[in-house]
A and B are shown apart, each in its own frame.
Chain A
Amino acid sequence: MLAEAVQLVINGLVAGTILAVPAIGFTAIYAVLRFPNFALASHLTIGAFAGYIVNVAWGWPASGAVLVAFLGAGLAGVLNDEVVLRPLRPAGPLTTAIAAVALTIVLENVVRFCFGNELRGYDLPIQRDWQAAGLRIGAQQVKNLGIAVLAMLAVFLFLAFTRTGKAMRAVADNPTLADVKGVDPDRVARLVNFVGMGLAGIGGVLLGLDTSIDPLTGFRVILSVFAAAVVGGLGSIPGAVVGALTVGVGEELSLLLLAPAYRTAVGFAAILLVLTLRPRGILGERAY
């Protein structure tokens, strides 16, 4: 029982680290643009398929797939925002949120049109699991963990030390003040879409490396992504990481009590619990 629980916590930390990548994307876009961008789901799927193409058709390794997914989903994010969502933002955050759901359905069906509904797996070498003291962890899991940690590290360094990163934080913190200080809000909006949707794309590849992908891949994890962002504090990037780890471990531990299918429902329960008990999330709303 105890060994089983420890194993689940390890699995949960791995799953949570991977979940943190798209959750950072979601919360960063929220912090700057102030609306829940549900189109993250389809950009995650786009990233997963972009990575799949270069991995399976061109034989690139996983790291190349991650890079392509970041660029592909990020560029798609900028383009879709410019064409679809940006013109709607003056109509209010909720109208934009509705349009984002519609956008995600359109994009998901573009993927379905091109690739069909069947499950697809990445082309990976078969590796033996690592075992120690009765616990096991897959070699691919460790690699995914490494990719996720590297991606997050890059985001933190970018936000902490670069001028554009600081501009992004400034807009998230106080858009009016940032505007007065000469930070171009449109440029920051494009940037946060690129980075946020790019991170969603990386999340898609990491999920694809772990299991398999289909046009609904993004939609299936989006509830966990919301949960991670809300639990940590919507709009807070460190919060998204803490929230993702919490939700990841919570989802795995729920296996002790519930059928596996209820894993995503755990995320929903976590949202309700946090909104009731600690509305600003674990780390509050500060963007950084």
Chain B
Amino acid sequence: MENYLVAMLVFAGLYALLALGLNVVWGMTGMINLGLVGFFALGAYVSALLTKKAGWSMAAGLPAAALVTAGAGVLVALVTARFRGDYLAIVTLGFSEVVRITASNEIWLTNGTDGISGIPGPWRGQLSPAAFNLLYLGIVALAVVVVLVACERLRHSPYGRVLRAIRDDDQVAAVAGKPVRAFKVEAFAVSAAVLGLAGALYGHYTSYIAPEVFTPLISIYVVLALTVGGTGNNYGAVLGAALVVFFMESTRFITAALPGLAAVQAAAVREALIGASLILMLRFRPAGLLPERVRPMARQ
């Protein structure tokens, strides 16, 4: 039971990272990313392959994963930066699908749908499973704190102010002389790097990744986490992630207790609940539990 709780905390931490990454683009810059799971998967594969096949250490695999996903983010953002956000929605959704197809079919590299097993984790062999779990919780918690502090610094910096200006009205930002397109591409790259980092951490924790692990539903979890917590608020992203993991796990027990449901029906109920709660949040509590606080303008 302790192991289960620790594992849930690790997952909450990973979702917190994903929500923080989403907050940089969606919360701060007002750009959409509906293919979060694609960047998450890409990061997981890059670090898993580098540590398992090329013999890199995890300490080198994590930044490499962040760099590669940032590069992918730059490409996606560059192609769509000139257009309305709708195109970014379509392209990011497509991107995640292409990542999944590639991971399923480049068998020489990714082992196809069988996935990659035996991904090294820090001192996995030497430690008892319980100790490994705790150690990993520490690593993930550290990552969350570092990313949270960095995101807060970003938010309060002049740079973050420009991002918010672009979110609220990118034409005004452009008229004020800000290179809007460059800011958008950079913000997307930063966000993608965080998503990739989360993916890499996921792979080293579970030691197994496969294309079917990275379902589009994960993107919805993350959007839900950020919306529940408070779009634009970094602390809200972390809180929302913890709540969503708690919610997801409790539905597991509730659906298991419902009589007369086949396994596939129970799974369907859970997934539908996730989607429905996102719709309800967007409708009735769009600012989330911790709404973004914007300092009122100083009186002249």
Seen from chain A, the residues whose Cβ lies within 8 Å of a Cβ on chain B are 30, 34-36, 38, 84, 87-88, 91, 93-95, 97-99, 101-106, 108-110, 112-113, 116-117, 219, 222-223, 226-227, 230, 234, 259, 261-262, 264-265, 267-268, 271-272, 275-276, 279
Residues in A with CB closer than 8 Å to B85 are 93-94
- Which of A98, A117, A230 touches B87 (beta carbons < 8 Å)? A230
Q: Is there an interface contact between A91 and B286, defined as CB atoms closer than 8 Å?
A: yes
Given the complex of chains A and B, what is the CA–CA distance between A207 and B98 in angstroms?
21
Q: What are the 6 A-B residue pairs with the smallest beta carbon separation, nearest first?
A: A105-B275, A109-B272, A106-B275, A109-B268, A102-B278, A112-B268
A141 to B227, CA, bound (A): 45
Q: Is the CB of A113 within 8 A of B272?
A: yes
Residue of A nearest to B31 (CB): A94
Distance between Cα atoms of A103 and B284 in the complex (Å): 16
Q: How far is the CB of B121 from chain A (nearest CB, A)?
A: 31
A95 and B286 in contact, given A261-B104, A272-B91 (Cβ under 8 angstroms): yes
Stretch in contact with the other chain, from B8-16, B172-180, B215-223: B215-223
Q: Are A261 and B101 interface neighbours, CB within 8 A?
A: yes
Provided the pairs A87-B283, A109-B271, A272-B79 are in contact, do residues A98 and B223 lie with their beta carbons within 8 angstroms? yes
Q: How far is the CB of B151 from chain A (nearest CB, A)?
A: 21
Within 8 Å by CB of B275, from A95, A103, A113, A275, lies A103
Assembly CA distance A219 to B82 (angstroms): 27
Of A36, A99, A268, the contact of B86 (CB 8 Å cutoff): A36
24 A-B contacts, Cβ less than 8 Å apart?
A30-B86, A87-B283, A97-B86, A98-B32, A101-B216, A102-B223, A102-B274, A102-B282, A103-B279, A105-B220, A105-B274, A106-B276, A106-B279, A112-B265, A113-B268, A222-B93, A223-B97, A230-B87, A262-B101, A265-B97, A271-B94, A275-B83, A275-B87, A279-B83
With CB as the reference atom, state the residue of chain A lying closest to B82: A279
Which residues of B lie under 8 Å from residue A110 when comparing CB positions?
Answer: 268, 272
Determine the interface band of chain B, counting residues with CB < 8 A from chain A: 35 or more
Complex interface residues of chain B between 241 and 300 (CB less than 8 A to chain A): 262, 264-265, 267-269, 271-272, 274-276, 278-279, 282-283, 286
- Complex Cα–Cα for A91 and B285 (A): 12
Q: Is B60 an interface residue (CB 8 A)?
A: no
Most buried by B among A38, A105, A116, A264: A105
Task: Contact check, A99 vs B272: say whether CB atoms are below 8 A apart.
Answer: no
B90 at the interface (CB under 8 A from A): yes
Roughly how many angstroms separate A84 CA and B276 CA in the complex, as a whole number?
Answer: 10
| Residue among B34, B91, B220, B283 making CB contact with A271, cutoff 8 Å | B91
Q: Does residue B111 face the partner (Cβ distance < 8 Å to A)?
A: no
> Which residues of the partner chain B approach A275 to less than 8 Å between Cβ atoms?
79-80, 83, 87, 91
Given known A-B contacts A98-B32, A113-B272, A261-B105, A223 and B220 have beta carbons under 8 A apart: no
**Complex Cα distance A113/B271, Å?**
10
- In the complex, A196 Cα to B277 Cα: how many Å? 26
> Shortest beta-carbon distance, B92 to chain A, in Å?
11
A91 to B90, CA, bound (A): 19
Q: Does B102 contact A (CB under 8 A)?
A: yes
Q: For chain B, what secondary structure do more than half of its interface residues adopt (helix, strand, loop), or is it mixed?
A: helix
Contacts of B276 in A (CB 8 A): 102, 106
Chain B, residue nearest A87 (CB): B283
A84 and B284 CA atoms in complex are apart in Å by: 12
Q: Report the minimum CB–CB distance from B25 to chain A (whole Å).
A: 11
How distant is A51 from chain B, measured CB to nearest CB, in Å? 21
Chain A min CB distance to B283 (Å):
6
Q: Is A36 touching B90 in the complex (CB atoms < 8 A)?
A: yes
Residue B154 CB within 8 A of the other chain: no
Whether a CB of chain A sits under 8 angstroms from the CB of B141 is no
Given A98-B223, A106-B275, 6 more A-B residue pairs with CB atoms under 8 Å apart are: A102-B220, A104-B275, A105-B220, A113-B268, A262-B105, A271-B90
Name the distance in Å between A225's Cβ and chain B's nearest Cβ: 10
Query: What separation, in Å, do the CA atoms of A97 and B31 have in the docked complex?
Result: 12
- Contact of A99 with B279 in the complex, beta carbons under 8 Å: yes
Closest to B89 in A: A97
Chain A nearest Cβ from B96, distance in angstroms: 10
Can you name the residue of chain A whose Cβ is closest to the Cβ of B32?
A: A94
A164 to B278, CA, bound (A): 34
Identity of the chain A residue whose Cβ is nearest the Cβ of B80 in the assembled complex: A275
Asked if B214 is at the interface (CB within 8 A of a chain A CB), the reply is no
- B residues in contact with A98, CB < 8 Å: 32, 34, 223, 278, 282
CB distance from A271 to the nearest CB of B (A): 6
- The answer to whether B279 and A264 have CB atoms under 8 Å apart is no
Which residues on the B side are within 8 Å of A34 (C-beta)? Answer: 86
